[in-house]
Chain A
Amino acid sequence: MSSMILVDLIQIVMTTLTVGSMYALVAVGVSLIYNATGVINFAQGEFVMLSGMTVASLYGTLGWPLPAAVAAALVVVVLYAALLMAITSAFAARISLIGVLIITIGASIATQGAAARIWDSDTHRFPPFSGDDPIRILDATITPQALWIIGVSAICIAGLIWFMRSTITGKAMRACALDKAAATMVGIPVRTTILLSFVLSGLLGAAGGIVTTPLTTIDANGGMLLAIKGFTAAMLGGMGSIPGALLGALLIALVETTTVTFASGAYKELPTFTIIILVLLLLPRGLVGGRHETGLHHDDLTRT
């Protein structure tokens, strides 16, 4: 009986880490863009979708070598991120925060429609990097691809944290997030740092799409739900905080996995979204305590 509980526990931990890593890549991306612009990017899931679809068609269908397909996916996503940056900050000062949120919603659905035209609306998948043979830990099992997901996510996020803390450019980005006016005064190119945030955020999403597609499959409309999960996680942890986003993502994954294990898969979203409403009310700045929006935008939809 006790071994049963142990197996359950191992299974929950492994699933939480896998699903959590997937959410974390999106959530950290959301936080990066939020830091740079004060905007929640609804189109964050499209990074994942575009990279997954690109690799699936180039590597899975056309038979390109994997590194070439990955490189192509990264290029696609970087270009898309730059485009997104251009439209969201084109007239930023004139448009309310919710206005920009609406723009990213528009970008998200337009991308879904376009992806369904470019590819199709079927689900796509490509073979996992190290096969499908499960690895057994006691009676619990984990697929090798899950280890890829956890590993790649960990490396990406650790790399990002190092970049933000230890490089001049990273420090400039943080300075920019804290106070744009002051950053401009000391000679930090604000627009470039914003662009960089979008690109980094896109690359995180792209990494997510590349490692998770063999496990979860992807379709043209699959990005929006991931984006909602991502910014829910980011908000749970505290908007703008990278460790917060990570924590939020793991927490959501834990809640979902526990619900599915002990109740039913059908109810897995229920506790998640109840928790988000509660956290927003009780800890409006999230678990870790993120930042509140910068003064760049006003928050009234009807004023210009």
Chain B
Amino acid sequence: MSVVATLNKNPVRRNTAQVGLFLIAMLLVPVVFGTGYYLNMMIFIAILALPALGLSLLSGLAGQLAISHGAFFAIGAYGSAILSARAGLSPVLSTLLAQILVAVIAAGIGAVVLRLRSHYLAIATLSFAIIVELVIEEWRGMTGGMQGMLGIPPMGLFGYEASSDVQFYYVYWPITALMLLFALNLASSRIGRALRAIREGEPIVSSLGIHTAGYKTGIYVVSSVFAGIGGALYAHFVGFVTPATGSIMFAIEIIMVLALGGFDRLWGALIGVALITLLNEYALGFADYKKIILGVTLIAVMLVFPRGLLPGLIDLARHRRIARAA
């Protein structure tokens, strides 16, 4: 009882306990179910959870939607790919260095586009995404152009390279869990509260002397770095990147993840990613049907549960319980 009480009072401890339990459960999965092709899917979930968590931070705290997370995923992927495959850096180092690139670009773009709101922000970030895709396609000497870039070394350190799906699984899930913990703590920190306050009434907060633009740019940078790390992990897992890695369709899929998991739910983002990865796997070979399913689900979810499918269902269940109790 007292443990629960302490945990509830201290969000950092509560988050740590929850994420810790979650990670232990995830690490036991291959022990219980053995190795198999499903691990491949699980690794994709760990990777794609990162841009989704990033976007969830932005939409959950700032209430806004950016269509640039696919682009930052691509910058992280190509950045790390180029640094490791062409400059010969170790994948861990290249992953980290690529994030500096992501952060600098995000800070530059964020400082200007975050003055816009609503669908103006969406279109501005979409334009940025199109520019990034174009630069990747055109800077052939560096990126390999439309053909993509092959021969990216697998994730590893000091000569040890992950080579099987199980190894990738045990490297990637702890990273994703750590990032999830960071996101949860950020959301419940003073910074998170300040951002929520800005969302509710920017002029008032700004009149209190809080530097609102700085907060907004900050969260945009953090959120983009989440996507960038995801990109780097992707590149060192698949070993191959193409301009499609950060295409608009990919950005739409991330939005779809949030529509399923809830626009302000970090845990929901994980569930959304799992659903989308399953859809991608089962729709493999049915691209047209996948588009129909994706489109229709997106419409249905937004119409019925504008805040996202999962929060909507939870609300529904709660209302039912209250109604039954009354």
Contact = CB atoms under 8 A, between A and B. Distances in A.
| A touching B, CB within 8 angstroms | yes
6 contacts: A95-B302, A101-B65, A102-B259, A110-B291, A266-B137, A301-B263
B223 to A, nearest CB: 14
Given A98-B119, A103-B303, A280-B116, 10 more contacts: A99-B302, A100-B302, A102-B255, A102-B298, A106-B295, A113-B293, A269-B131, A293-B118, A301-B63, A304-B306
Interface residues of B, number: 49
Nearest to B116: A280
Contacts of B130: 228, 269, 273
Most buried by B among A40, A110, A112: A110
A21 interface: no
Contact of A106 (B127, B131, B296): B296
A228 B134 CA distance: 15
Given A108-B295, A277-B124, A117 B288 contact: yes
B269 to A, nearest CB: 13
Contact of A277 (B128, B137, B252, B288): B128
A190 interface: no
Interface residues of A, number: 51
Interface stretch (A86-94, A174-182, A202-210): A86-94
Contacts of B59: 301-302
A299 B59 CA distance: 11
A251 B130 CA distance: 19
Contacts, number: 153
A71 interface: no
B196 to A, nearest CB: 10
B122 interface: yes
B22 interface: no
Q: List 5 tightest A-B contacts by C-beta distance, closest first.
A: A110-B295, A113-B291, A106-B298, A299-B118, A113-B292
Interface string B287-326: 1111111111111001100110000000000000000000
A82 interface: no
Contacts of B26: none
A105 interface: yes
Interface string B22-65: 00000000000000000000000000000000000001100111
B110 to A, nearest CB: 12
